[in-house]
Amino acid sequence: MKTIFISVYHPLISRNILNTGVLEAILNQQDNKVVLLVPFAKIDYYRSIYGTNNVFIEPFDFKISRKEFIFKSLSELLIDTNTKKFHKIIYKFNFGRPFRYYLTRLFTVLFGNLRFIKKLYRFLDYKFNTPKINSMSILFDKYKPRILFSTDIYSDTDIALLKIAKKANIKTVGMVRSWDNNTAKTLLRFKPDRIIVQNRILKDELIQIHSMPKDIIFISGIPHYDYYKQYKPISRDNFFKKMNIPIRKRLILISPAGKKFIGTDWHIFDILKKAQQQGEIPKNVHFLIRLHPSNKVDFGKFVPNENFTIEDTGIKFEGLREKDNELDLTQLDHLIDSLYHSEIIINIVSSLIIDATVMGKPVITIGFNGYNKNTHFARSVDLYLRDDNMEKLLSTGSTPVVKNLEELIKWINKYLSNPNIRSDKRLNLIEQQCQWLDGKSKNRITDYIVDLIK
């Protein structure tokens, strides 16, 4: 048996990898054995779901030292993207430190585009900031892994594991977890032996922004959309009964940004409520506000009526942060059901725009700050629409960006009358973000990892 270590330190890894067929496919090839490395606080959860004869669950937590904090802070300054610039603007707005903003921006402009500086940083980070191998030696001795599959190469814990694995002469393959990680996180602090990405955009970003060699980067597609395409949604009657929504209603799903990003989500809810009361939106429309599993929403002065359902999501863990909430397979199925039975998805700064498009649904993207006319850029929707990843996505023309109440109402009524408007442009988004929707992304990932340990 060959043993593969897989890191599981982000809640969406269950959705992205463990529940998409990748885990089963790895186990089925050459009688492989898998060890999932997970946080201590979640060990019982993972053992109850994934623990089998050939899947072992082991806890490993990484505590950030002062030295680690310094190296991580420096890596924040070594990528020059709009997204990171906007992060600094938000910091300046929240804490009122203009001198720090201009100083860090100057550092990034001077050094953030120099390949040799990035390589020097990675050398120093590995040389002087690698955790002692003792912290993993028991697990190495016990399982004798052939490879470490790091599922989130920007995670603090994953970086530590990658460094330790290299010191132990274990092969490493890393994965860019999400569509915005290359532009929104730190400099990629460690170069694995191989890297898996979802699409060509991510590959180009690794080469151009992070100075990674192109020959170590493999494009796989997005495995959890394999699951989306094979899943059979429950019937409309059963879904509406489950949600306690009258069957005669037409459903519009709203994906809010959350108060971490903006404070005007509730304005949009209230605007829609009043527009419906005034007859500008059909009476037979019901709004489902689907909360993010790890990002609370400010409901402000909004009071829902009988045409609104607010749905909380995510499995919470005592002692862990909200951002560590999980989505299990049951909740993933429910998300797909919700998208499938919705007529329209209203997107307020959410990656759900991609999920909705994969499900063939029209999306309306909010491009205004509700009732506020003079929202500071740091708390505005516009900031997030102008970040690197969203700009690329919006360039496909797959979703209208509505700039006021009138445009929002117009597009709701247009899509209710004809959901196929812009369907050709939605195909552009799928090609750009998903690379393939052939149901074989999980196989590409599995074959690539298994080939590395033959």
Q: Are 363 and 347 within 8 A, CB to CB?
A: yes
Residue 392 in this model has a pLDDT that exceeds 90 = yes
**How far is CA 448 from each of CA 12, 108, 158, 169, 206, rounded to the nearest angstrom?**
21, 35, 20, 19, 19
Q: 259 CB contacts (<8 Å, ≥6 apart)?
A: 265, 295, 296, 297, 298
**Structural domains present in the chain:** 3-62+131-222+439-452 (3.40.50.2000), 66-112 (no CATH), 234-434 (3.40.50.2000)
Residue 321 in this model has a pLDDT that exceeds 80 = no
Cα angle 137, 139, 143; round to 5: 120
Q: Which of 27-41, 66-80, 107-121, 159-173 has the lowest mean pLDDT?
A: 27-41
Q: Which of 348, 350, 17, 5 is nearest to 177 (CA)?
A: 17
Q: What is the mean pLDDT of residues 249-267?
A: 94
Q: What is the mean pLDDT of residues 308-333?
A: 85
Residue 322 in this model has a pLDDT that exceeds 80 = no
**Which residue type, as a one-letter code, is found at position 187?**
L
Residue 318 in this model has a pLDDT that exceeds 80 = no
Q: Are 446 and 26 within 8 A, CB to CB?
A: yes
Residue 342 in this model has a pLDDT that exceeds 90 = yes
Q: Which of 276-280, 311-315, 442-446 has the lowest mean pLDDT?
A: 311-315
pLDDT (tens digit per residue) in 32-83: 899 999 999 999 999 999 998 899 999 999 989 999 999 999 999 999 999 9
Residue 30 in this model has a pLDDT that exceeds 80 = no
**How far is CA 198 from each of CA 157, 163, 188, 332, 433, rounded to the nearest angstrom?**
21, 23, 16, 20, 8
Q: What kind and span of H or E run contains 443?
A: helix 441-452
Amino acid 96: pLDDT: 83
Q: How much is the pTM?
A: 0.94
Amino acid 120: pLDDT: 98
> What is the distance between the alpha carbons of residues 451 and 449, in angstroms, rounded to a whole number?
5
Residue 303 burial (C-beta neighbours within 10 Å; 0-12, 13-18, 19+):
exposed
Residue 293 in this model has a pLDDT that exceeds 90 = no
Residue 195 in this model has a pLDDT that exceeds 90 = yes
Amino acid 1: pLDDT: 80
Number of other residues whose CB lies within 10 A of the CB of residue 404: 11
Amino acid 368: pLDDT: 96
